[in-house]
Structure 1
Amino acid sequence: MRRGKAIIFVVVLVFLVNFTIGSGDVEPDVQERNSAVKLIRPNKLPSPNSKIVGGMDTDIARYPYQLSVRLDGQHVCGASIISANYALSAAHCFVREILEGVKEVTVVSGSTYLDNGGTSSKIRSIISHPNYSNRTNEFDIAVLRMADPFVFNERVAAIALPQSGAQPSAGTDAVVTGWGLLQSGAQNVPNTLQLGRVKVADFRRCRRSYFFRVRTKLTGRMICAGNEITDSCQGDSGGPLAANNVQIGIVSFGAGCATPGLPGVYTNLGDPSIRSWISENTNSL
């Protein structure tokens, strides 16, 4: 009888766990930050007072490394300047489905606004990490080699990268910038660059939440940041997460935007395998 009761208990327990994890009625689907990229239209702008999820208007002079990635002139992702000749973004911004039919890929530097100002620069080559997977979201990073060097000034400058193996601790203050959607599911982007102040989340807790709530496995090549008040969103993809004037992450994916208990997930630039790949593809930066 004891063995029979134990078997019944295990069966019931497995059923309850599967029901809790798999219930789509209470948990959001995991979506890459570019899932709404085709819906973004810079010419359909919200009111000037609109904010990114929990963010605020800011000026490019405060974050001169921020770039807008444009496909045929339309903003789709963010990127960051890391030297006069190179920028970083997310690999998922340049998958075949996104680039299909696109005639020109450029970045705009030095402008707070999407609809005017700044300098448009052509990209000579896009080097996406060869191990990037749109199924696991690992190695979500791309190096952009510019056709001509950036001209640095007070509105255009590079951001430093972390040392190999450097890992931000939970609770570290960080900032994420971009022109992404103001809330999950929206179809319009703000005209003004937005700033979100976030904290790096405890990775073990974040990893457990993603695994048990939305069946997504996080790895050490990722870090989490944000909360139910402030988070990056679609259109911020590829943009920088910075702490103490060092870029520690790249906007990668999340379960909705600002979802309680499920912070945004970023490519971890301090991971040794990620950091060494950047050096190999940027002349040892």
Structure 2
Amino acid sequence: MDVARCLLWLLAALPLFCRNAECRSLHRHRRIVGGLPANITEVPYSLSLQLDGKHMCGAVIINENWAVTTGYCYNLAVPAQNVTVRAGSSVRETGGSVHTVERFVPHSHYVPAYSDYDIAVLKVKPAFKFSKKVKPVKLPKQGEEFSAGTVGVVAGWGTKNFGVPKYTRTLYKVEVPIIDFAECDKSYMYFGGVNKRMICAAYPSGGKDSCQGDNGGGLVAKRKLVGLVSWAIGCARSEYPHVYTRVSAFSNWILNNTNV
């Protein structure tokens, strides 16, 4: 592993060894920067993934019994006996309905050091009851492409500024455009680039992004789940676009593991 990859691995591993909020805040995973308050009815597929009743990640409803998040969030949730999701609420720790995570399945090839195969599915109990506040999002077809310039919405309860460990109490959302794969790959060339299991979204000038605490939340465009908040360097930085797990690279895997 070269020096750059080693640095990225250390950044990825930091939360696993931290024991306080200040330390965790140095990590590269994030929340909504430059966004607006959102009502859960605008993004009814959005879940707060919680450990001991405290928000740690986002997740996305895909049917009555299953949700999808990232492998990174699975690592935070181990052991999983006290992991729940809150559905149907704009407030991260009150309202809506709370569901126990009965089963958590990360991708078997997930590599934390590279944030590759960064996806996991989770089964909840009791099942979600759909309403205007709780709805699944449609999965893309395997291999489906979303062109550069397509605008997606990402929502979450994370921090508004990188390095500030305080999560927001209420839901925020922001719109970001998908960017050209080669452009994103070039931005991260020093860190080994990105691959076709990843998709990037950002504004050239920065200023709008997901941030700490948003990991696992969904990037939705054309009413389909395009990506999952995965990684970047900092938040909303013009030189480092946000990298999302490309859901269309895993549609068949999701179907095989959830019977959606």
Taking the aligned partners of 1:166 and 1:136, their CA distance within structure 2 comes to 23
Q: CA deviation at 1:54?
A: 0.9
Aligned residue number for residue 168 of structure 1 = 146
> Within 5 Å, which residues of 2 pair with 1:62-101?
62-95=42-75, 98-99=76-77
Q: How many residues align?
A: 246
Taking the aligned partners of 1:59 and 1:40, their CA distance within structure 2 comes to 27
Taking the aligned partners of 2:245 and 2:126, their CA distance within structure 1 comes to 27
Q: 1:129 to 1:160 in 2, by over 3 A?
A: same
Aligned residue number for residue 196 of structure 2 = 220
Q: Unpaired runs of 5+ in structure 1?
A: 1-20, 23-27, 42-50
Contact 2:57 2:217 in 1 (8 A): yes
Of structures 1 and 2, the larger Rg is shown by 1
SS in 1 for 2:256: helix
SS in 2 for 1:270: helix
Q: Does 1:109 align with 2:87?
A: yes
Taking the aligned partners of 1:31 and 1:247, their CA distance within structure 2 comes to 27
Q: Which amino acid is 1:54 matched to?
A: G
SS in 1 for 2:232: strand
Taking the aligned partners of 1:34 and 1:140, their CA distance within structure 2 comes to 17
Q: Which amino acid is 1:182 matched to?
A: K
Q: CA deviation at 1:101?
A: 6.2
Percent of matched pairs sharing the same residue: 36
Aligned residue number for residue 244 of structure 1 = 222
> Within 5 Å, which residues of 2 pair with 1:35-184?
35=15, 52-95=32-75, 98-99=76-77, 103-184=81-162
Q: 1:181 to 1:76 in 2, by over 3 A?
A: same
Contact 2:156 2:213 in 1 (8 A): yes
Taking the aligned partners of 2:213 and 2:85, their CA distance within structure 1 comes to 14
Q: Which amino acid is 2:36 matched to?
A: M
Question: Which 4+ residue blocks in structure 1 deviate beyond 2 angstroms?
Answer: 28-41, 98-103
Q: 2:186 aligns with which of 197, 201, 208?
A: 208
Aligned residue number for residue 25 of structure 2 = none
Q: 1:248 to 1:101 in 2, by over 3 A?
A: closer
> Within 5 Å, which residues of 2 pair with 1:183-194?
183-194=161-172
Q: 1:198 to 1:30 in 2, by over 3 A?
A: farther
Cα shift readout 1:116-174 (whole Å, capped 9, x = no counterpart): 21110011100000000011111100000112210011100100010111111111111
Q: CA deviation at 1:38?
A: 6.3
Q: Which amino acid is 1:73 matched to?
A: G
Q: CA deviation at 1:216?
A: 3.2
Taking structure 1 as the reference length, what is the TM-score of the superposition? Answer: 0.80
Q: Unpaired runs of 5+ in structure 2?
A: 23-30
Taking the aligned partners of 1:146 and 1:127, their CA distance within structure 2 comes to 12
SS in 1 for 2:210: coil
